[in-house]
Chains A and B, each alone.
Chain A
Amino acid sequence: MRKKDKKKRHFGYQPYECTAVEEYLEEMARKGWFLESINMCIFKFKKIEPKKIKYSVDVFEKLSIFDKDNSDLALEYREYCERAGWKYIGQNGKVQIFYSEDYDNIMPIHTDAEVKFKTVFKASFFNILLQLVLVIVFGFNICIQLSGSMVAHSLGSNMGLLTLALMVSCVLINFLDVINFFKWAIKAKRKLRENKYFNYNTYKQLIHKNRIKKTYCVILLFFMFGAVLTSNNIKNNMLLTVGTIVVGILLVLTLNFIRKFINRREYSRENNIMTSIVGYIISIVLCCTLIMGLSLNSVFNKDKDSDISSKVVLDLTDFGYKEENSKDKYYNFENSIIASNSRYGNNIHGEKLSYSLFESNHPWVIKFYEKKLLKVKKQYYKVELLNEKMGLYKNVKVYSYGENNQYLMISKNKIVDISNDFTNINDSEFLDIVYKKVF
């Protein structure tokens, strides 16, 4: 029964949404839940008689995320607020929460809309800048994933597709936050002429927004395991995915630990900044190493199954040589819900064959990859369409590029990137064999 007297709620917000949080807390008080304490974005409530309580979610811009909670600066500020009748509840970075039971007569902590706007703007700006950096970093990453031959992996494997989806979501969510911030800033600035503080989002909108974010995360997680279970190397991919999630949780715990460490000591702000930065760097390096280790493990532990080898559509035997398992032989096949992607290479006594094959039943996927591939090839080589010149096939476009007889063969649903390294097979014979076997 005792447990029913308390409840915890996760409630994410940005400093400029402080009025929405106030509204939320006041609504909770009217329903008989009083805010007891906060820890980051976790709100702890205890049961009380339903009543009107005035809350103030106050942004104190001078506090730094590197200060310990209850720093001298924060305590000094709190004394001002307490003198005005506000009672302190808790702190999360630059945000402090106060309450008062004198709902109608308590003097607001900020009586000047312009001062409040400047404080909130400055406090939010750093976060927004960080989010902007995230958008740029991930945006850049997406561009890399979708350039040249990287497309084959990004679209041709479920893991690649999922990573892409994760990065796109990260960019979208953060970008929306940045846009929302500037939307607020512009509207608030306009409202200031009337000496009014502009409330961004009501608590219902904020709850709605948080719910959408959470649902989206759950859906992504669901897809993540879906992608793992449908991949052709369940064991390794599962290890990689679970490993990444565990590393993520460890990272959050470490950051929390650093925070607690700072709170327990009486160090200066400079010291705290150093501790945090060193802590962040060590944990990020450790995480990267772990994830790298896991992915390398999955690369080296590729199933050398005969099952996969049987999927090879084109090998040395097709050109009149004997196929053997040499040390140079590799074959890699991966597929996603929209495309598949395989690479083959072998070298028997100097007779080499290597190619990559990308297949998809969706014409737009093929078109997209074709465009990207041609663009990157044109950057380095002279690319030439051979069909008319050599009187080649109607349904397959053949491009030559580079000096070593390299070819791109593109049909409605397949793209082959291959080079003729054989000494005694001429190019048109070579292309004929590939055409017959693959298309």
Chain B
Amino acid sequence: MPREQFQNLTEPMYYILISLLKERCGVDIMENVLEISKGRVKVGPGTLYALLSKFEKQKMIMETEVQGRKRSYIITAYGKEILGDEYRRLESLIKDGEQYLKGEL
């Protein structure tokens, strides 16, 4: 069932998961997402916090270290699977588009 819920990741979700391919402290993700997306995708702190809790609950990421109030996370195998699915979905979107739109735009 949880699979259903994440079938289409939103942009912030996609970038947060990419950001957690490397172990990272929760608060650092905001800046990292901005960096990866070259300033295009912004994730507000409240949204980030809510999404991290949701991902953790769905076992897509896991907590690795707690230092004081700072928690670090990393993506799990299951998380990678979902991220991979999304990547392939996006890729096929591009390919399909390429096939029909090339030359027309």
Given contacts A79-B69, A80-B27, contact A107 B42 (CB under 8 A): yes
* A75 beta carbon closer than 8 Å to chain B: yes
Contact of A111 among B12, B26, B70 (CB under 8 A): B12
Flag if B44 contacts A111 (CB, 8 Å).
yes
Flag if A115 contacts B47 (CB, 8 Å).
yes
Contact with B along A90-111 (1 / 0, CB 8 A): 0000000000000000011111
* B45 beta carbon closer than 8 Å to chain A: yes
* A76 beta carbon closer than 8 Å to chain B: yes
* Complex CA distance for A77 and B46, rounded to whole angstroms: 8
Contact with A along B50-77 (1 / 0, CB 8 A): 1101000000000000000111000000
Flag if B44 contacts A108 (CB, 8 Å).
yes
Question: Which segment, of A81-89, A148-156, A368-376, faces chain B?
Answer: A81-89
Contact with A along B6-35 (1 / 0, CB 8 A): 000010100000000000001100100000
Instruction: Name the B residues within 8 Å of A81 (CB-CB).
Output: 45-46
* B49 beta carbon closer than 8 Å to chain A: yes
Contact of B45 among A62, A86, A119 (CB under 8 A): A86
Contact of B46 among A72, A75, A76, A110 (CB under 8 A): A110
Nearest A residue to B34, CB-CB: A107
* Complex CA distance for A108 and B30, rounded to whole angstroms: 12
B17 CB to nearest A CB, Å: 15
Given contacts A111-B12, A112-B10, contact A83 B46 (CB under 8 A): no
Instruction: Name the B residues within 8 Å of A62 (CB-CB).
Output: 53
Instruction: Name the A residues within 8 Å of B53 (CB-CB).
Output: 62
Instruction: Name the B residues within 8 Å of A75 (CB-CB).
Output: 69
Instruction: Name the B residues within 8 Å of A119 (CB-CB).
Output: 46, 50
Given contacts A62-B53, A107-B42, contact A79 B70 (CB under 8 A): yes
Nearest B residue to A96, CB-CB: B46
Instruction: Name the B residues within 8 Å of A72 (CB-CB).
Output: 69
Flag if B49 contacts A112 (CB, 8 Å).
no
Instruction: Name the A residues within 8 Å of B43 (CB-CB).
Output: 111-112
Flag if B44 contacts A107 (CB, 8 Å).
yes
| Interface residues in A, total, Cβ within 8 A | 23
* Complex CA distance for A109 and B30, rounded to whole angstroms: 11
* A203 beta carbon closer than 8 Å to chain B: no
Contact of B12 among A77, A80, A112, A118 (CB under 8 A): A112
* Complex CA distance for A213 and B33, rounded to whole angstroms: 46
* A358 beta carbon closer than 8 Å to chain B: no
Flag if B47 contacts A83 (CB, 8 Å).
no
* A58 beta carbon closer than 8 Å to chain B: yes
Instruction: Name the B residues within 8 Å of A33 (CB-CB).
Output: none
Instruction: Name the B residues within 8 Å of A80 (CB-CB).
Output: 26-27, 30, 45-46, 48-49
Nearest B residue to A86, CB-CB: B45
* Complex CA distance for A111 and B47, rounded to whole angstroms: 6
* A60 beta carbon closer than 8 Å to chain B: yes
* A116 beta carbon closer than 8 Å to chain B: yes
Flag if B69 contacts A109 (CB, 8 Å).
no
Contact with B along A156-193 (1 / 0, CB 8 A): 00000000000000000000000000000000000000
B52 CB to nearest A CB, Å: 9
Contact of B44 among A77, A112, A118 (CB under 8 A): A112
Within 8 A of B (CB), among A51-71: 58, 60, 62
* Complex CA distance for A264 and B48, rounded to whole angstroms: 30
A191 CB to nearest B CB, Å: 17
Flag if A83 contacts B50 (CB, 8 Å).
no
Within 8 A of B (CB), among A288-344: none
Residues of chain B whose beta carbon lies under 8 Å from any beta carbon of chain A: 10, 12, 26-27, 30, 42-51, 53, 69-71
Q: Assuming A109-B47, A111-B47, what are 17 further A-B pairs, CB within 8 angstroms?
A: A58-B46, A60-B49, A75-B69, A77-B45, A77-B46, A79-B27, A79-B69, A80-B26, A80-B30, A84-B30, A107-B44, A109-B44, A112-B10, A112-B47, A112-B51, A115-B47, A118-B50
Q: List 19 A-B contacts (CB under 8 A).
A: A62-B53, A75-B69, A76-B69, A76-B71, A77-B46, A77-B49, A80-B26, A80-B45, A80-B48, A80-B49, A83-B27, A86-B45, A110-B44, A110-B46, A110-B47, A112-B47, A115-B51, A116-B47, A119-B46
